[in-house]
Each structure stands twice: as C-alpha cells, then as structure tokens.
A and B are shown apart, each in its own frame.
Chain A
Amino acid sequence: MKEIPWGKRLEIARCYILGHTYMEIEEETGVSHGSIANIVSEIEQGKLTIPGIPSDQVNDLRQLSFDLKKKCLELSQALLGISFFERLRALDISPERLDRWSELTKRLAPADFPAKDFVEAALRLHELEKSYGKSFEILTEECMKLQQGTEKLREEVKSLDKKKAELAEEVEPLSLQVEKSKKEKGKLENDVDIQAVKLRELTSKVKETEKERQELNREIKDLRGRKVKLCSKVDGKEESLRRLNDIGFPDEDLLRLRNLLEKIAKKEGIHANQLKESFFRALDYFISLSELQKMAEKEAETLKKTRKEKSALTGEIVELENRKALLQGETCESASLASQTIRNASAEAVSQIQQEVVTIREQLKATLADILIAGSAVAEMKAMERKGEESAKELADFIKEVKSRVEVQ
C-alpha cells in the first residue's frame, strides 16, 4: 500500500481538528475514506502528533469546532461571545443569573427591536475595537471629545471673529489720534512759520530804523555845519553892533546926530542932501547891521529849535534803539525757546507715536499671520471633513451597488 506523505497527513489532521466530516476531508484532500479513518485513529491514539497542538486537546478542539460549526459561528463571533460573556461578568451577571437577565432584556426591549441590526452593529463595533486596539467606552469618549472639540472650535472661531471686530474698532480711534497729532504738528509748524515771518518783519523794521537814524545823523551833521557857519556870521554881526554900542550910538545920540548934522550943514554950508546921502549911506550901513542882528536872532532861535529837535530825535533814537534791542532780544529768545520746545515736543511725540504705531502694526501683523495659519488649519480640517462626508456617501453608494450586483445563481 502506498504511504500517505507527511504534509498530506497533517492537512487531514488540520481538517479533522477544524471539525470537517470524513466526506469533506475526502473531497478536500482526495484521500480515501479508510486512510482518513486510519489517520484519525492514529491521532486519537497519540501516534500522530500535530506541531503546536497537544494530543490530549485534539478531541476538545474538534468538539469546539463542531459546536461552532453547528451554531454557524465564526471564530470571530465566538471571540465576540467570550468578550460578551466577560462584559456580563464585569456587570456582575453570573451564568445562573443569565436567564433572569435575558428576561429583563426582553422586557425592556421593544417588540420590534431590530436584533439582527443590533448584532451586526455589535460585530462591527468589535471589529472596530480590534482594529483600533481601544475599548468601546474609549472610542465613545473620543467621539464625544471630538464632537465637543468641534463645538468648542466653532465657539472659538465666533469669539475670534468678535475679537477681530473689536480690534478693528480699537485700531480706528488710534488712527484718528495719529491723524489728530499730525494735524497738531501741522498747526505748530504753521505757528513757527508765522513767528519766523514776524521775526523777519521786525528785523526789516529794525533795519529801516537804522537807516532813518543814519539819515538823521547826517541831517544833524549838516545842521551842525550850518549852525557853525551861522554862528560865525552872527558872531561877526554881533561884533559890529558891539562895536557900535561900544562906539556909543543910542537914539538920543542920533537926534542929537541930526541936529548936529543940520548944524553941520548950516555951518559948513554943505548941502543937506549931500550930508543926508552920506548920512543914509551910513544909516544903510546901520540897517544892514540891524538886519544882520535880526537874522542872527532868528538863526539863534532856529538853532535852538534844531538843538531841541536834535535832542528829541537823539532821545527818540536812543529809545528806539533800546526798544529795538529789547524787542530783538525778546523775540529772538521767545522765538528760539518756542521753536525749540515745539520742535522737541513734536519730535518726541512723533517718534513716540511712530514707535507705538510700528509696534502695534508688528503685533497686528504677527496676529494676522497666526490667524491665517489657524484659518488654514481649520480650512484643512473642513476639507478633511468634507472628504470624510464624501467617503461616507461613497461607502453608502458602494454598499447599495454591492447589494445589487452580488447575486446568487
């Protein structure tokens, strides 16, 4: 008789443990019924050992396979049953209390309770637990957390929108303040310009006064020259009058002089006219002398007036010069002080404002970048969510398609 190879014998042993009937083993392996019976008896007697399976457990395993097969159960379903049993034990439901528990479950379950769907769902849940390596409670908790996280995120997005709006509102008064400061700066610059214009006007006035003073000085010089001349003339005339007085020629003396002249004419026998002419000639000389005296008086008066005017003018000039110097000093001081303080204050304010605006701008830029990053992450999440929804829809379509296309002939 031809001996069956080792591999074939092992295959037969495997089929035997898996609870196959002799007919099935015959169909699968192509070995005759008698040979199969011999191999089985060898296994039962412990003559044929199967690697990894103790010989005393072979019958138990076959029995288990039979039971599972009888109950139409897969190995995964049996495992699920064990886990179910474990769960019941964890709930403190012992096997003797199982019937009471089943009664309670039936009473609680509605009449049209979809048991089949429930079992399928339980199987799917078990598979999910296996694939993730996590329990149902942890998965449920994670799902809840995810839902809560999504809600939280929605709320956070809303609050962020609100904050964004608030920030925009806060930025507006800041920009208004900056504009106000700019306007104030412009006003201050205008004031500085006006002050500079006034200063220029004052300097031009001072220059004009300087010119006037110079002209006056020139006039004073001319007047002094004329006065010197007149003085010399008057001095000459005064000298001649003094001489006449010194000579002793009063009115009485003149009358006496006429009488004397008449007498002289009579005496001398010279014509009176001749004597008159000579006398008038002498009088002419005298008139011109008196005129000269009057002129000298007038000149003295004008000299006095000019002296007074000169003194008044010099006083005015001094006063003007003092005022000018005072004004110049004051204006220069005030203008320089004002311009300096304005410049300092405006420069400080402008630099401060610029610095603050720069820092705020940088902060806002950084925040905007962060918002953009977070937005892109949220957008990615949304895209993934959309993809998930699409895949769920696709899966539903796929299930429909499979249901319609997997047929029995």
Chain B
Amino acid sequence: MISKNNLEQTIANLKKELACIESSSQGIGRRFAILQREAESLKIEFLKYSLEKQRKVLARQRGLDSLIRDRKKIKTGLAVAAGGLILGGLISKDKYTALNAGLSGFNGVLQGFGETRWAVSLQKELVIVPHNAIPAKGTWVTLESLIAAIHDLKTEALQGKRLGTLDNIIQRLQQSRRKLIYIAPPD
C-alpha cells in the first residue's frame, strides 16, 4: 500500500507533468495556428506564382513570334545566347553550365521581346492575354492591379482570415474594386 507522503509526492509530480503538458500543448497549438495562416498565405503565393509563370510562358511565345518575324531580333537573341554561353563557360568551366547559361540568356531575350502589358479575365478560368488582344466578352483587369489586390489578400490571410477555395478568392477579388483596374473590351 502506498504511504501518505508517497501519494502526496506522486500527486505533486503529476501536477508538474500536467502543467508541462498544458504549456507545451498550448505552444504546439499556437504553432499549428501559425502554420494554418502560412498555408492560407501560400494559396495566394501559389496563385501569384501561377499567374507569373503563365505570363512568362506567354511572353516567351510572343517573343519567339516576334523573333521569327524580325531578323534583327534573331541576331540580338543569338548574340545574347552566345554571350551567356561564353560567360557561363568562363565562370563555370563546364560545358553543361555554359549551355544552360546560353539557353537562359536566349530564353531571357525571348521573354524580353514578348513582354507587354497583360490583362486577366476574372471569370471561372483565369486567362491571361496581352493588353491589345482582349476578347470582346468577359471582365478584364490589368495583371499588375490583380497582383496588388492578391497581395492585399495575402496580408489578410496572414492576419488569420480564411480565404477558402479559388472561387471564393475570385469573388473577393471582384469585390475589391478599389485595387483592380478594369479594362474595357473593344467594341
């Protein structure tokens, strides 16, 4: 049978352990809450990243088209690629790295030729088009204003607001008219 002193000691130890568990649980809970906020903000980050990626792809495509049309530009592109190749080779002294540097330079040139002002449709699908090729139907906003509005949503997410699905985010963006710059479709 357990003695009174032992029982008291056991209860005191138990209390200490319980206090320790409580504090560590609360700490972990707080960290989970921060992670949840981070996950919400990551949604915005990913959306931004996807839009930027699509913009770059489009820009490269446009740059390639303009390169095919203009021979001067081909020369410039090749010169940049060759420069990148040589520079990469000089720095890394590795043929693969040099090749990669050259391609990256060419890629950058292509993208640079294709860069323009971009518009995004705020519909079910987020479609990016050049500013001068907006279709007649749909609501269109500038990509810069959309990214600024998205940035505001990120701040809200970090403050603990839940953003929900992509539809919810699009709805929110449609409601934040102050940030968005709408582009009138051509008649």
Contacts and interface: CB of A to CB of B under 8 A. Distances in A.
Interface of A: 21, 24, 27, 69-72, 98-99, 102-103, 127-128, 131, 146, 149-150, 152-153, 156-157, 159-160, 163, 167, 170, 173, 356, 360, 363-364, 366-367, 370-371, 373-374, 377-378, 380-381, 383-385, 387-388, 391-392, 394-395, 397-399, 401-403, 405-409
Contacts of A356: 4
B32 A381 contact: yes
A138 to B, nearest CB: 14
Given A363-B11, A406-B54, A156 B39 contact: no
B50 to A, nearest CB: 4
A70 B28 contact: no
Among A146, A381, A392, A397, find the residue whose CB has the most chain B CB atoms closer than 10 A: A381
Question: Which applies to chain B's interface (DSSP): helix, strand, loop or mixed?
Answer: helix
Contacts of B54: 406-408
Contacts of A102: 92, 94, 97
A95 B182 CA distance: 49
Interface string B152-166: 000000000000011
B50 A384 contact: no
A398 B46 contact: yes
Contact of A72 (B92, B108, B124): B108
A170 B7 contact: yes
B120 to A, nearest CB: 9
Contacts of B40: 391
Contacts of B108: 69-72
A146 B25 CA distance: 10
B32 to A, nearest CB: 4
A170 B9 CA distance: 14
A399 B24 contact: no
Interface of A is mostly: helix
B130 to A, nearest CB: 9
B39 A394 contact: yes
Contacts of A70: 80, 83-84, 104-105, 108-109
A371 B105 contact: no
A27 B132 CA distance: 12
Contact of A163 (B14, B19, B45, B104): B14
Given A102-B92, A146-B31, A367-B14, A405 B166 contact: yes
Interface in B76-105: 80, 83-84, 92-94, 97, 101, 104-105
Contacts of B14: 160, 163, 367, 370
Given A128-B38, A384-B36, A406-B126, 9 more contacts: A69-B112, A70-B84, A150-B28, A356-B4, A370-B18, A371-B18, A384-B28, A398-B43, A406-B125
